[in-house]
Amino acid sequence: MTNDERDARTETTWQTLRRGLALSPELRTGLAATLGLALVYMVGRVAVPVAVQQGIDRGIVGGLNLDVVWSVVAVTAAILVVTTACGYLMMRRLFTVSETALANVRTRAFRHVHDLSMLHQQSERRGSLVSRVTSDVDQITQFLQWGGVILLVNLGQLVVTTAVMLAYSWQLTLVVLVAFLPAVLVIRQLQRRLGAAYATVRQRTGTLLGAVGESVVGAPVIRAYGIAGRTARRLDDAIDNQRLAQQRAIRISIVGSSVGELAAGLALAGVVVLGVTLGVDGTLSIGQLTAFLFLVTLFIQPVQIATEVLNEAQNAIAGWRRVLDVLDVAPDVADPGEQGRDLPAGPLDIRFAGVRFAYPGGPPVLHDIDLEIPAKSRVAVVGETGSGKTTFAKLLTRLMDPSAGAVLLSGVPLAQVRFDSLRSRVVMVPQDGFLFDATVGDNVRFARP
């Protein structure tokens, strides 16, 4: 079981949603007004069946009355104009709010990734952190802008339609609810499996992006060592694993959709049989039965597409969980900020006091280093590969913190120095160059534009 699958089982969907909403308070801004617009929009959808019933019972049955028919058409048209405007405003609000909220999430996630220590970044699979703040956030955005609209509309449609159906016939409404009750229970069970399936999809998508990124960035090395075939097979495996995970999730989704279709058929059949019986008894008029059949269709539509919406929702929840997992990681090399100290002016001397360091799960790399380097000195640190030279430099620049002991500059412990002050005074030039997507001049001037 992957870590993501384990997380999907230990944290429920609602818990993830609550954490996500707490992270994105913008999503709750004006939520009541948006729900109100959705409710008004749904009144317009229900107005058509009611208009059909009124037109049949009052304008056709017992003799054609065109005045009644035209009056019903005019009132219905006016209602549809108003509710369509409400639907437009609702969707505009949802799109604007979701883009604003998730832009802030993406910004926070990117900045948090940069705040994580080099040790943590190097321990992550290449592309994994990038996928969490790109494709995973994109998945959340896609759901909120598409699934969020449908979810609101469907919720309003179910509530309003059920209320109107009850007003027409509680017996027929009971038939519809009983027909869908088993489907709801089955779909709820399937959603648990779907959540774990999409957690695997998001994890394998991250693996795929990492493999693609490595093959592109490392293309010169791949060609130099003649391992293009092995790299291609690795990419093929990553693509195939992502495909298999996606197909498994889709198969679970299709089962839920089929259950919903079966429930819809049973509901319609039950309404027709009982509705005709009530009509013969005089309990229902022709117009009321016709309107109820329209209402059943409006009730069925949200349930039929609910599986697809929940399918995207589980995919988005899995992505949201991965983003939240990154944000939950506390930086182990933290900037003291305003509480920190600035380095003293002038040349700096260096002191390593009892410094030890070991990478997680590995043996010690540095053992009780006691060292003083006077200011204005030039010192060469030499040693065989793996002896700790780069680790020594990273500790001096506080890209990592020692496991024990302290590093001091002119008597000031590095852990107390603000990053702005440290970065402007102590610099490490890495042995591996990196060219940013800019001109040569921009790359040369990158640190000091």
- Give tens-digit pLDDT for 137-151: 776 776 766 666 677
In the predicted model, is pLDDT for residue 368 greater than 70? yes
Q: How confident is the model at residue 240 (pLDDT cuts 50, 70, 90)?
A: very high
For 330-350, write each residue's pLDDT tens digit.
777 778 878 888 888 888 999
Q: Indicate whether 280 belongs to any domain.
A: yes
Average pLDDT of the residues in 427-436: 76
Mean pLDDT within 91-97: 77
296 residue type, one letter:
V
* Among candidate residues 272, 299, 328, the one where a domain is terminated: 328
Quick one: pLDDT at residue 130?
Answer: 66
Confidence grade of residue 89 (pLDDT, cut at 50, 70, 90) = confident
Per-residue pLDDT, 351: 92
For residue 396, the domain's CATH number is 3.40.50.300
Q: Once rounded to an integer, what is the mean pLDDT over residues 41-45?
A: 77
How many Å apart are CA 28 and CA 30, to the nearest integer?
6
Same domain, 357 and 323: no
Calculate Rg over the CA atoms of the chain: 32
How would you classify the pairing of strands 404-409 and 412-413?
antiparallel
Residue 284 within a domain: yes
Of 294, 328, 362, the last residue of a domain is 328
- More reliable by pLDDT, 75 or 25: 75
Say if residue 297 is in the same domain as residue 351: no
Judge whether 26 lies within some domain: yes
In a shared domain, residues 124 and 212 = yes
Band (pLDDT 50/70/90 cuts) for residue 3 is: very low
| Per-residue confidence band for 13, with pLDDT thresholds at 50, 70 and 90 | low
Report the C-alpha gap between 228 and 226 in whole angstroms: 6
Cα separation, 177 vs 264, in Å, equals: 10
Tokens for 387, please give them: 């002896």
**429 assigned to some structural domain:** yes
224-to-217, 218, 219, 221, 256 alpha-carbon distances in Å: 13, 10, 9, 5, 50
Q: Are residues 73 and 125 in the same domain?
A: yes
Q: What percent of the chain has pLDDT over 90?
A: 5
pLDDT at 136: 72
1, pLDDT greater than 60:
no
| Residue 397 shares a structural domain with residue 312 | no
Whether 156 and 250 share a structural domain: yes
The reply to whether 85 falls in a domain is: yes
Asked if residues 314 and 194 have their Cβ atoms less than 8 Å apart, the reply is: yes
Asked if residue 360 and residue 283 are part of one domain, the reply reads no
For residues 134 and 233, state if they share a domain: yes
Residue 230 lies in a domain: yes
* The dihedral sign for the CA sequence 375, 377, 378, 383: negative
The top-scoring range by mean pLDDT among 126-140, 180-194, 404-418 is: 404-418
Other Cβ atoms less than 10 A from the Cβ of 115: the count is 15
- Please state the domain count of the chain: 2
Q: What is the mean pLDDT of residues 348-372?
A: 87
Question: Quick one: pLDDT at residue 147?
Answer: 64
Spatial separation of the C-alpha atoms in residues 20 and 323, rounded to whole Å: 9
Q: How far is Cα 387 from Cα 400, in angstroms, rounded to an integer? A: 17
The arithmetic mean of pLDDT across residues 107-112, rounded, is: 76
Backbone φ/ψ region at 190: left (φ over 0), alpha (ψ -120 to 50), beta:
alpha
Domain containing residue 126: CATH number: 1.20.1560.10
One domain, residues 301 and 353: no
- pLDDT tens digits along 250-287: 888 788 777 877 888 888 888 888 888 887 677 778 88
Q: Are residues 115 and 189 in the same domain?
A: yes
Is there a domain that residue 275 lies in?
yes
Predicted confidence at residue 155, as pLDDT, reads 73
Are 231 and 342 in a shared domain? no
Boundary-marking domain end, from 328, 360, 382? 328
- Residue 449 domain flag: no
Which tens digit of pLDDT belongs to each residue from 171-221?
Answer: 888 888 888 888 778 877 777 787 778 778 878 887 887 788 778 777 777
Do 260 and 166 lie in a common domain? yes
The residue behind tokens 């190097």 is 122
Tokens of 307: 């599986």
pLDDT band of residue 127 (cuts 50, 70, 90) is low
Structural domain boundaries enclosing 52: 3-328
